[in-house]
Structures are given as C-alpha cells and as structure tokens.
Amino acid sequence: MLKNQRKPSIEKSVAFTAVFLIVSSCARMGLPPGGPEDTEPPRVESVTPAPDSTGVGHDTELELIFSEKVKREQAEPLVKLNPEAGRLYFKWDGRAVRVRTEKDFRPAVTYRLRVEPGLTDLHRVKSEQRFESFFSTGKAFSPGRISGTVQVRDSLVIEGKLRAVSQQDTTLIFEAESDSSGAYLLPYLPLGSYRLEAFRDLNRNNRFDYTREEGADTLAELVFEPLTINFLLQLADTTAPVLKSVETPDSLTIVLVFDDRCDSARGIAGAEFELRTPDSLGTQLAVDSTFLDSADTRRVILKPAGLLVPESSYHVRVTGIVNEAGLEIKHQAKSFRYRPEEAMKRRRR
C-alpha cells in the first residue's frame, strides 16, 4: 500500500524536471550575454592640452581619454612625445590616463603627442589608426618646416626614420617617419642649424646601426622659408674613415676632412696627429690643440704651435680616429700646401 502512494510523487518530480529543462533551453536561445559583439576599435576621444594649444605650462600633465577601456600594458608603449621630455609616468582611471613627464617642457618649443597604431580594447579589438596632436609652450607654433622623400636605390622607403638634431642644443631632437609614398614631414621646428639623419630602422630600436642599416645625413640651415630635402640612403658603413682632404682657412688652422663622421661620444681622445715639413729631414712641428668641429664631426681641427708659411708644403699623419660605426683608422697620411689666396676665396664664398 505504501508503494502505491509514492507513485504520484515520482511522476510529479519527473514532470517538473522536464519543464525546467525546456525553460532552460529556451533561455539559452536568445542573444548572447553582454549584447552585440564589439567590433569597433578604440580611439582617442579627447586630449589635454587641447590640439593646437599655445602657452602650455612647462610642468603641465598630459591626459588622454579613450572611447572605451583599453589594455593598459599594451597602450603605454604606444604613447610617444616628441621632442622627448624624459620618461613618461602613467596614472589610469577607467577610460582616461594622465601622463606625467620626467622633465619639464622646454620653453618656446612645439611638441607632438602621438598614439601609435595597436591600441587594443578589452574585447581584443585593435585600432590600426595613428593619433597625433600638437601643442606649444611658446606664444605661437615654431615656424620651421622640412619635408621631402626617402629613397634607397630605385625604391621609396616606407617607415624610414628621420631625425633633426639641433646644432645649438644637440639634446633637442625632432623625429618623423616616411609614409607609404616615402614622403616625410618635420613641422613646427625652431629656426636654426640642424643635422638631418635618415635611415632604415631594420631592427626597430629607433637608433641607426651604421654597420647594418642604410642611411644618409646632411646639414641644413632652417630660416623662415620651408626646406625640401630628399634623401638617397647609402649602404651600411663597413669601412674605417678615410682622410679625404686637408683645408687651411688661415695660418693657424688645419682642418682634416674625413668621409665619415667621427664618434662624437668617444671624440678624438685616442687619436694621434703628426705634422711635418716634407723636406729631407721631415722636421716635426708642434701642435697646440686638436678638437672635433661641433657642427660637423667629419672635420677635425688642428691648431699648430707656429704660423704656417705661405706656399709651403706640409705632411700630416693620423692614427686612431674612430667613426660612428666603431671602425678605426690604423694610419693615414696626406700632404698639403698652405695657399692664403685660396683660403681667402673660400671665406668669400
């Protein structure tokens, strides 16, 4: 009798379980949790200082607000400031990040704030767009502008690196890249003298490897008129410097001109110079001082202890000069004649 009384209870349990499974199945047939799939890449919505701002304070913090939350560890290396102001420090708050620079901004300089392609949101959607904004610590943007193309052999160079190094302050460096057509633009530069460098950054370390990468450089004087400079990159440097010529601008100056730039960090500390007359005895002449030309490190300047005699011949021997590729001259020599008339003509030009 007890067994027959349990049957209705068991049947009800089975029916309830079936209904629960049907309802659960129907619930899963709707839209996936969280709404529609995210396919929109993140972007920069706003930036501080605002684009084209002037008179920005030297200790101003930067701020970027993105359209959605992004992966912070991937985003931070994509944020670039040029010219550099030391290390960047990041403080995140949801979609926003405040950026503090290690050093204060320089006076009367135009800065470029850039976010490189690769910004990724929390759904792993990646942006392929580049964002950039300019601001100035001066009353107006710097007026200088240099543009052109970068080419190697018969091909234009995409993403070639360009650097404009101020010769008044060699720590002030402006950078750019050539685009898909090989063209580059260095806008908003302070007027003055620059050493321009172009190279293929094959190992992507943002430094020129003289022994492996193709490059070229030149000196330029930037005034109010924009400059156009096209670069034809040369093969990597695998040879030691060559003493090309000797100039004598006056009776107390001898300029040795090499085909490569000397290593400015090492200077000419390990180099030796010997100056002689070319007569049968080869009398050695004293040299008071030697130094690199700060404007062009292809040039080494010697100051002899005595005056050079007009129309007289001399002989100079050099050892230990090292170029920027780290390659060293074992010894090279060249004869020259001091002609005051030629020196006068060069000064007039």
Q: How confident is the chain (349 residues) per 10-residue block, as mean pLDDT? A: 46 47 45 67 97 97 97 96 97 97 97 96 94 97 96 88 94 95 96 94 81 87 94 85 93 93 83 85 89 89 94 93 86 91 67
Listed in sequence order, the residues at least 6 apart from 318 whose beta carbon sits closer than 8 Å to its beta carbon are: 243, 256, 271, 272, 273, 274, 300, 329, 331, 332, 333
3-state secondary structure of 324: coil
Structure tokens at 343: 């020196």
Please say whether the beta carbons of 225 and 249 come within 8 A: no
- pLDDT number for residue 39: 86
Backbone dihedral angles phi then psi of residue 10, each to the nearest 5 degrees: -65, -40
d(CA 334, CA 323): 19
Listed in sequence order, the residues at least 6 apart from 139 whose beta carbon sits closer than 8 Å to its beta carbon are: 54, 55, 108
Check residue 52 and give left, alpha or beta (phi > 0: left; psi -120 to 50: alpha): left
- Which structural domains are found in the chain, ordered by start? 44-136 (2.60.40.1220), 144-233 (2.60.40.10), 243-348 (2.60.40.1220)
- pLDDT number for residue 269: 84
b/e map of 323-346 (b: 16 or more CB within 10 Å)? bbbebbbeebeeebebeeeebeee
Structure tokens at 264: 């400015």
Alpha carbon dihedral 67, 72, 77, 83, in 10-degree steps, equals 60
**Nearest partner of 128 among 120, 140, 136, 139, judged by Cα:** 120
3-state secondary structure of 292: strand
188 half-sphere exposure, CB direction, 13 A CA radius: 20
Listed in sequence order, the residues at least 6 apart from 249 whose beta carbon sits closer than 8 Å to its beta carbon are: 255, 343, 346, 347
3-state secondary structure of 308: coil
- pLDDT number for residue 16: 47
Q: What is the DSSP pairing of strand 144-152 with strand 227-228?
A: parallel
- pLDDT number for residue 4: 46
Alpha carbon dihedral 11, 17, 18, 20, in 10-degree steps, equals 140
**Nearest partner of 124 among 69, 47, 176, judged by Cα:** 69
Instruction: Quote the pTM value.
Output: 0.67
3-state secondary structure of 346: helix
Burial class (CB in 10 A: 0-12, 13-18, 19+), 307: exposed
